[in-house]
Amino acid sequence: MNTKVNIAGVELKNPVMTASGTFGSGEEYSEFVDLSKLGAVVTKGVANVPWSGNPTPRIAETYGGMINAIGLQNPGIEVFCKRDIPFLRQHDTRIIVNVCGHAEEEYLAVVERLAEEDIDMMEINISCPNVNANFLAFGQDPKKVEELTAKIKKAAKQPVIMKLTPNVTDITEIAKAAEAGGADAVSLINTLTGMKIDINRRTFAVANKTGGMSGPAVKPVAVRMVYQVAQAIKLPIIGMGGIATWEDAIEFILAGATAVSVGTANFYNPYATVEIAEGIEAYMKKNKVEDLRELIGAVR
Amino acid sequence: MKKKEQAVILSQEKIGSDVYSMWLKVTFAKECRPGQFISLYSKDGSRVLPRPISLCEIDREKGTLRLVYRTVGAGTNEFAKLTQGDTIEVMGPLGNGFPLEEAAGRKVFLMGGGIGIPPMLQTAKELQAEKQIIAGYRDELFLTEEMKANGTLYIATEDGSAGTTGNVLDAIRENALEADVIFACGPTPMLRAIKAYAQEKNIPCWISMEEKMACGIGACLACVCQSKEVDDHSHVHNKRICKDGPVFLASEVEL
Ligand SMILES: Cc1cc2nc3c(=O)[nH]c(=O)nc-3n(C[C@H](O)[C@H](O)[C@H](O)COP(=O)(O)OP(=O)(O)OC[C@H]3O[C@@H](n4cnc5c(N)ncnc54)[C@H](O)[C@@H]3O)c2cc1C
Ligand SMILES: Cc1cc2nc3c(=O)[nH]c(=O)nc-3n(C[C@H](O)[C@H](O)[C@H](O)COP(=O)(O)O)c2cc1C
Ligand code: FES
């Protein structure tokens, strides 16, 4: 039985990875799960310099999910390379570094710095709805997505995954732009922009006013988008958005995802990633699926 | 080692109009310290985030923990309905706890405000020192008998129904109390006032802070507070309350 999948020439032992920003760089969750049992660890977004992030409260619970406006707090690429990459390398898993920036130059500075590092892939966050800068437009404007993708591809030594925002009218248009720009894969979905008002305090539940919605409540939107993108482009897709169980993961794979990321579910089940990887194997055994790749995009 | 597991409820008692006391059986009680907390999880899938609750008492021999909590929303109201024999998902032990060694043998204020009072009980039980416990309530009292058994108790109430009328600092002034070290837990305005008091008296002060949490273990960066200096882990002026705290030296954080 084969659970291995291949994304841009990088082989993952299974299709289960972590969703950026929910798992740090793996250290905290390594008390609960063996990182070597994961296909890949996707790290928290990292920028060229340290970012302080947003004021608190940064999160609020919503029905079947949450909204977050962490604001991409990160220690900057230098600390990340010295501390987080060596930690992850002790484990037998793939390292995917999530990259954020306010401007083209900032993304490129991180991508160039990563060229000399021992990482497997990078995931470019062009969709974070939290930071009030012009770069919000990147992920929502197909022309800019194509341009940025092309520039990053030129600078990058490792395969490039473009992470798409669901906050657009037609996600296939953006996916096609990433493909045209030369991306090696796409991942989706990032969080859906939402708002919660605290009626007792009569103010916004998160200090940033708006935040990104995630968790089980967003899953049907995410499955739909993965399916649409799978019909529109040839690149491998990493699916995410509300995945909490192996059943959810299979659903994304059938819709067209080659691999899946688990985010918010880690917060209420720190064992979720490994349980999902094991559940996928059990499903394959039970249904006599010899190769996981038979399931990818099998529902059309 | 932190664990997430099914805890069994040994007892649940209402000790105030909206305050409950619950004893839980867990596997990790031996590793727990005063000032640490655990995350409680709802059985209702629509509520995905943990409810952090401080350890009020730790019985390492029996492997049990006592939580004292106020019902404020859907999660705590769900917990209040649980009875003996029921189970609940918990994760712990979380956070750092109070640095007892900094106060051992000294003259100490253990200050709690409202639902910040519970963690001061186990702290008082384990601390070998001259303990002056200052508990501030809105009106209704709770945990006073247990506190009295573990130190000299001074009470303040906002409505004046017991002890000093006012807050914990009013109680200190009215009783002309002094200390070399402060441990405190309570609402932010109270912590801010205690920090100012400690600064004025030039005594070290540790405070336990609160923020909304998602992971509870330091991974998601939801629960930060601002630090005076650049933090070693975050490399910005932010510390994680769930992991680097909840107890901080007051002079190291901005309130
Ligand atoms: C380290 C720490 C220790 C705590 N110890 C105690 C304790 O010993 N006793 C006690 O009664 N309360 C304690 N609290 C507060 C307690 O966590 C909240 O009252 C509880 O989470 C409310 O949940 P709810 O579902 O009833 O309320 P809701 O308002 O419905 O909760 C909605 C969301 O907001 C979060 N939330 C709401 N209020 C708080 C708050 N004050 N702090 C953090 N998150 C909050 C909830 O966890 C949940 O995710 C502590 C908080 C922290 C951070
Ligand atoms: C607290 C939090 C922080 C996040 N931080 C990032 C980030 O730094 N970069 C990024 O590309 N996505 C970030 N995300 C989005 C997730 O990676 C994921 O796309 C989204 O949450 C949907 O998956 P889920 O429902 O499984 O959480 C974050 C999500 C959460 C909840
Ligand atoms: S709750 Fe995630 S870092 Fe504290």
Is A242 in the B-facing interface, judged by CB distances under 8 Å?
Answer: no
- Asked whether residue B242 is assigned to any structural domain, the reply reads no
Start-to-end CA span in chain A (Å): 24
Question: What is the count of structural domains for chain B?
Answer: 2
Residues B55 and B26 in one domain: yes
Q: For the segment A140-150, what is each residue's pLDDT rounded down to a tens digit? A: 989 999 999 99
Ligand 3 shell residues, CB under 6 Å: B 213-216, 218-223, 240, 242
Taking 50 as the threshold, does the pLDDT of residue B115 lie above it? Answer: yes
Ligand 1 pocket check: which of B72, B96, B253 to mutate, most ligand atoms within 8 Å of Cβ?
B72
**Does the annotation mark A100 as catalytic?**
no
Ligand 1 pocket check: which of B210, B211, B239, B248 to mutate, most ligand atoms within 8 Å of Cβ?
B210
Distance between Cα A61 and ligand 2 center (Å)? 15
Residues B142 and B206 in one domain: yes
Output the pLDDT for position A137: 60
Residues B111 and B197 in one domain: yes
d(CA A116, CA B222): 31
> 3-class SS at B46?
coil
Q: Spell out the residues 6+ positions from residue B232 whose beta carbon is closer than 8 angstroms to its own.
A: none
Residues B55 and B136 in one domain: no
Taking 90 as the threshold, does the pLDDT of residue B126 lie above it? Answer: yes
Q: For the segment A7-64, what is each residue's pLDDT rounded down to a tens digit? A: 999 999 999 999 999 999 999 999 999 999 999 999 999 999 999 999 999 999 999 9
φ, ψ for residue A231, nearest 5 deg: -80, -20
Residues B76 and B146 in one domain: no
> What value does the mean pLDDT of chain B take?
97
d(CA B39, CA B2): 11
Q: Is the pTM of this model over 0.80?
A: yes
- Asked whether residue A11 is assigned to any structural domain, the reply reads yes
With cut-offs at 50, 70 and 90, classify the pLDDT of residue A130: very low
Q: Spell out the residues 6+ positions from residue B87 whose beta carbon is closer than 8 angstroms to its own.
A: B6, B7, B8, B9
Nearest-by-CA chain A residue for B225: A56
Residue B111 burial (CB < 10 Å; 0-12/13-18/19+)? Answer: buried
Residues B83 and B113 in one domain: no
- CA distance readout (Å), B13 to A81, B23, B78: 51, 9, 14
Q: Do A73 and B46 touch (CB under 8 A)?
A: no
Which helix (H) or strand (E) segment holds residue B4: the answer is strand B3-14
Q: For the segment B35-71, what is each residue's pLDDT rounded down to a tens digit? A: 999 999 999 999 999 999 999 999 999 999 999 999 9
Question: What is the count of structural domains for chain A?
Answer: 1
Write out the two tokens for A202: 């009569």
Q: Are B131 and B108 within 8 A, CB to CB?
A: yes
Write out the two tokens for A265: 């579910």
Nearest-by-CA chain B residue for A79: B235
What CATH code is carried by the domain that includes residue B19? 2.40.30.10
Output the pLDDT for position A136: 60
Q: What order do you get walking across the sheet with B37-41 strand by strand?
A: B51-54, B37-41, B87-94, B3-14, B19-25, B64-70, B57-59
Give me the domain span that covers residue B69: 3-93
- Asked whether residue B221 is assigned to any structural domain, the reply reads no
Output the pLDDT for position A127: 77
Q: HSE of A16 in the Cβ direction (CA atoms, 13 Å)?
A: 30
Is A163 in the B-facing interface, judged by CB distances under 8 Å?
Answer: no
What CATH code is carried by the domain that includes residue B135? 3.40.50.80
- Asked whether residue B215 is assigned to any structural domain, the reply reads no
A285-289: long-range contacts, CB 8 A cutoff, minimum separation 24: A285/A1, A289/A1
Residue of A23, A50, A63 with shortest CB distance to B219: A23
Residues in chain A: 300
- Asked whether residue A248 is assigned to any structural domain, the reply reads yes
φ, ψ for residue A97, nearest 5 deg: -95, 120
Is A61 in the B-facing interface, judged by CB distances under 8 Å?
Answer: yes
Residue of B91, B222, B235 with shortest CB distance to A50: B235
Domain end, chosen from B70, B93, B116, is at B93
- Asked whether residue B241 is assigned to any structural domain, the reply reads no
Residues B109 and B203 in one domain: yes
Q: Are A56 and B211 within 8 A, CB to CB?
A: yes
Atom of ligand 2 nearest to the CA of A65: 25
Average pLDDT for B220-242: 96
Is A30 in the B-facing interface, judged by CB distances under 8 Å?
Answer: no
Taking 50 as the threshold, does the pLDDT of residue B20 lie above it? Answer: yes
Residues B127 and B84 in one domain: no
Residues B108 and B193 in one domain: yes
Residues B122 and B196 in one domain: yes
Taking 80 as the threshold, does the pLDDT of residue B105 lie above it? Answer: yes
Q: Are A24 and A43 within 8 A, CB to CB?
A: yes
Omega cis (within 30) before B246: yes
Residues B27 and B62 in one domain: yes
For residue B232, how many other CB atoms are within 10 A of its CB?
A: 11
- Crossing angle of helices A142-155 and A171-180, rounded to 10°: 30
- Asked whether residue A207 is assigned to any structural domain, the reply reads no
Taking 90 as the threshold, does the pLDDT of residue B241 lie above it? Answer: yes
Taking 90 as the threshold, does the pLDDT of residue B215 lie above it? Answer: yes
Tell me the ipTM for this assembly. Answer: 0.95
Distance between Cα B214 and ligand 3 center (Å)? 6
DSSP class of residue B231 equals P
Average pLDDT for B133-157: 97
Give me the domain span that covers residue A132: 5-54+72-194+214-294
Is B224 in the A-facing interface, judged by CB distances under 8 Å?
Answer: yes
- How is chain A classified by DSSP, letter by letter? -B--EEETTEEESSSEEEPTTSSTTSTGGGGTS-GGGSSEEEPPPB-SS-B--PPSP-EEEETTEEEE-----B--HHHIIIIIHHHHHTSSSEEEEEE--SSHHHHHHHHHHHTTS--SEEEEE---TTS-STTHHHHH-HHHHHHHHHHHHHH-SS-EEEEPPS-SS-HHHHHHHHHHTT-SEEEE--PEEEE-EETTTTEESSTTSEEEEESGGGHHHHHHHHHHHHHH--S-EEE-SS--SHHHHHHHHHHT-SEEEE-THHHH-TTHHHHHHHHHHHHHHHTT-SBGGGTTT---
Residue B153 C-alpha, separation from nearest chain A C-alpha, in angstroms: 33
Domain end, chosen from B78, B93, B108, is at B93
Q: Do A56 and B223 touch (CB under 8 A)?
A: yes
Write out the two tokens for B187: 């609402």
d(CA A146, CA A123): 15
pLDDT above 90 covers a percentage of chain A that reads: 94
Output the pLDDT for position A138: 84
What CATH code is carried by the domain that includes residue A128? 3.20.20.70
- Asked whether residue A206 is assigned to any structural domain, the reply reads no
Average pLDDT for B147-163: 96
- Asked whether residue A201 is assigned to any structural domain, the reply reads no
Taking 70 as the threshold, does the pLDDT of residue A135 lie above it? Answer: no
Q: HSE of B105 in the Cβ direction (CA atoms, 13 Å)?
A: 2
Write out the two tokens for B47: 């509520």
- Asked whether residue B238 is assigned to any structural domain, the reply reads no
Write out the two tokens for B29: 């009680």
- Asked whether residue A9 is assigned to any structural domain, the reply reads yes
Residues B61 and B148 in one domain: no
Q: Name every chain B residue with its beta carbon within 8 A of the beta carbon of A52.
A: 236-238
Q: Are A229 and A278 within 8 A, CB to CB?
A: no
Q: For the segment A211-238, what is each residue's pLDDT rounded down to a tens digit? A: 999 999 999 999 999 999 999 999 999 9
